[in-house]
Structure 1
Amino acid sequence: MKKLKEFDIPFVGLKQGKHQFVYQIDNAFFEAFNFDEFNSTSIKVVVELDKKSSLLELSFNAEGVVNVLCDLSNEPYDQEVGGELNLVVKFGEEYNDENEEILIIPHGEHQINVAQYVYELIVLSVPAKRIHPGIKDGSLSSEIVKKLEELQPKEIKNGKEETDPRWDQLKKLLTDK
């Protein structure tokens, strides 16, 4: 991962109170992380920094669209993403990011890079199973969907299940004990 300088927030020169930083995320951002699961990306991330005397409170809010491939049909579609993340930044002896909600940075630091947090917020807001909306409502028509429908298990007709006769011989072995 390259360090993305535009995601550095220099908090030393800021007055106490709330400050807002807005980022427009595209595919170049994910290329810096060697992440290539998104075909295209258009996400707006708003980072609100609340500077207090002894700590910083960061609030991330992401909303937008990523174009991904459907896990069932391999058809590209636009998936809406959105999420929130709250992070407290404290000052200590050494850098420590073991707690996902609290970041400890050394006393001498004058800026914080939020690129990793933006990346994680977006990637984790995409559903684990990505299904094209056209599959859910039946409006998607493609060769893959037709083949999946052809290969799905057959329904029971007249109370008797249609089975492959080759399996019937094997089932007799189970009942002949």
Structure 2
Amino acid sequence: MKDLKQFDIPFVGLKEGKHVFEYHIDTTFFEIYNYREFGKASVKVTLEFVKKSTLFELNFTATGTVHVPCDLTNEYFDQEITATLPLVVKFGPEYNDENEEILILPHEVYQFSVAQFIYEMIVLGVPSKRIHPDVILEDEETDETQHLEGVEKEEEKTVEITDPRWDKLKNLITEKKT
């Protein structure tokens, strides 16, 4: 995908040590992947790339907002997200991404793309249950009020309902003690 060239890291020319890459992710990034769950997106991704002699350590950090529909009201709102993704890149005879924490690249490769990792980190960073903040406040107040009313009614019931036969037996026990 030629639109994702900015996410290619040519690591052959990099010196050993720490390098920082920053990306601004918006809706067009997700359109490339045909992912249309977000109305709008504004996410800042910082990639800390540590090059060592035999491997690379990558730490992705994403912060921002995505415009998603509420699961209860279907009203769109800005969902804040923060996500991290650690990744170790090693070299081997062939490409292998079976382990989600370790990526193995062939020895002859001189660059690789981080776009897929950024995409997965952001999509998985969005909560599975998306509820508009205003809806949560209303529901919490309603639930709390209903809970308190229910407790008061239970207390009233326990005070009012007694079996007169048991009351007489309780009196017998207290009479013997005195």
In 2: Cα distance, 1:123 partner to 1:42 partner: 13
For 1:24, the aligned partner's letter is H
Q: Identify the residue that residue 64 of structure 2 maps to in structure 1.
A: 64
1:123 aligns with 2:155: no
Runs of 4 or more above 2 Å deviation: none
**For 1:25-174, what aligned pairs fall within 5 Å after superposition?**
25-138=25-138
The 3-state SS of whatever aligns with 1:73 is: coil
**1: CA distance between counterparts of 2:106 and 2:75?**
47
Q: Cα offset for 1:2?
A: 6.5
What's 2:16 paired with?
A: 16
Shift of 1:14: 0.4
Q: Would you tell me which structure has more helix in proportion to its own residues?
A: 2
Letter in 2 for 1:20: V
- CA shift for structure 1 position 3: 6.3
Identity across the alignment (%): 60
Query: What CA distance in whole angstroms lies between the structure 2 residues aligned with 1:25 and 1:102?
Result: 24
**TM-score normalized by the length of structure 1:** 0.77
Cα RMSD for the two superposed structures: 1.9
Q: Name the SS for the 2:37 alignment partner.
A: coil
**In the TM superposition, what is the alpha-carbon distance from 1:110 to its structure 2 partner?**
0.7
- Report SS of the residue matched to 1:48: strand
What are the superposed Cα offsets for residues 69-119 of structure 1, whole Å, 9 maximum, x if unpaired? 001101010100011111000000000000000000000111110000000
Counterpart CA distance in 1 for 2:37 and 2:84 is 21
- Structure 2 gaps, min length 5: 140-148, 155-178
